[in-house]
Amino acid sequence: MALKIIFMGTPDFAVPILKSIHESEHEILEVYTQPPAKKNRGLNIQNSSIHDFSIKLNIPVRHPISFKDNKEIEHIKKLNPDIVIVVAYGKILPSTLLNMEKILFINVHASLLPKWRGAAPIHRAIMNMDNESGISIMKIVPKLDSGPVLLQSKIKITQDTSYEELAKKMSKQGGVLILDALKLIEEKKAVFIEQNESESTYAKKIEKSECKINWNKNANEVIAKINALNSNLGSWFEMNRNRVKIIEAKEIKNIKGKPGTLLDKNFTIACSNNAVRIFTLKMEGKKQITAQEFLRGYKIKIGESLT
């Protein structure tokens, strides 16, 4: 028997998962997402990715500012869903909602819980140089990302894995795993296993102060930060009081120099151990360019220090 579902999500990451459910036998009653907001340099009001995708699918969309009044609670009661599926919604659901009878609340989370609970699990896994991460489908409880887990699927991480690449793999895998979860729930075979609290770690939101590159770190640590942040905030260094964001770079081994100094004409910068070679970058307010294009326009001498 098809399940009646309310879907709650906001960013691109949630789109393949919503698409997977939509193409299944199950019925999506409504979609909840974050309200339209000002984005980018023009500060134009834009819908979330899930909002726009839901419109294409002709699914009703709601975007309440909060669940503090009873209006949304009562509305969900009237819809009478079997399941509420949450994927990177960006709002904490109150206990009054989670405690509603006969409704199962589940979350598709981008980590192998109990590791990396919280807002930035993909970023933290890459920055921490983890060898693997994955998708967890869990029951939602009032404590953040601590509910019992139904299913998990692992994904490998290499030194070259970027945020965008890993997020796409996770999102695609989430679209597969959610259908497996719904089948188990539909057949009353779902077994939720409690997380081991002693193994939990927290993936706090990325602070802007974390984005500046510290050349005194080892090269592999610098590369991990670049790969983790290159699709949104960006890792950066300063040159002539201008911020330069690194989009793509690679660790170069067996090369030494004073950390932060330019070592050659290939835009190789020394770190505490080994070095980082920059391939693509972006100046503030400018378009993305190659390192060679940058060096033709901004003369930097070999041995010059970059902060």
Which pLDDT tens digit goes with each residue over 236-277? Answer: 998 888 899 999 999 999 998 999 999 999 999 999 999 999
Question: Rounded CA gap, 288 and 281, in Å?
Answer: 6
Alpha helices in the chain (DSSP H): 15-22, 49-56, 70-79, 95-98, 121-127, 163-186, 219-229, 291-297
For residue 262, count CB atoms less than 10 angstroms from its CB and return exposed for 0-12, middle for 13-18, buried for 19 or more: buried
Q: Are strands 44-46 and 37-39 parallel, antiparallel or unpaired?
A: antiparallel
Backbone angles phi, psi at 274, to 5 degrees: 65, -165
In the chain, the percentage of residues whose pLDDT exceeds 70 is 99
Question: What average pLDDT does the segment 47-65 reach?
Answer: 96
Q: Contact, 251 vs 220, CB < 8 A?
A: yes
Specify the pLDDT at position 74.
93
Strand partners, 135: 153
Question: Rounded CA gap, 277 and 159, in Å?
Answer: 14
Question: Rounded CA gap, 182 and 21, in Å?
Answer: 9
Specify the pLDDT at position 41.
60
| Superfamily of segment(s) 208-297 | Formyl transferase, C-terminal domain (3.10.25.10)
Q: Is a pLDDT exceeding 80 seen at residue 39?
A: no
Q: Is a pLDDT exceeding 70 seen at residue 152?
A: yes
**Token couple for 298:** 């901004």
Handedness of CA 105, 138, 200, 225 (dihedral sign): negative
Classified by CATH at the fold level, domain 4-199 comes out as Rossmann fold (3.40.50)
* 149, amino acid identity: V
**Token couple for 176:** 């597969």
**Token couple for 183:** 């089948």
Mean pLDDT for the chain? 94
Q: Is a pLDDT exceeding 70 seen at residue 216?
A: yes
Task: Outline which parts of the chain fall under CATH 3.40.50.170.
Answer: 4-199
Specify the pLDDT at position 40.
65
The residue ranking higher by pLDDT, 38 or 202, is: 202
Nearest to 9 by CA among 68, 90, 79, 84: 90
First and final C-alpha spacing in the chain: 61
Q: Contact, 56 vs 77, CB < 8 A?
A: no
* 172, amino acid identity: K
Task: Outline which parts of the chain fall under CATH 3.10.25.10.
Answer: 208-297
* Per-residue pLDDT tens digits for 87-143: 999 999 999 999 998 999 999 999 999 999 999 999 999 999 999 999 999 999 999
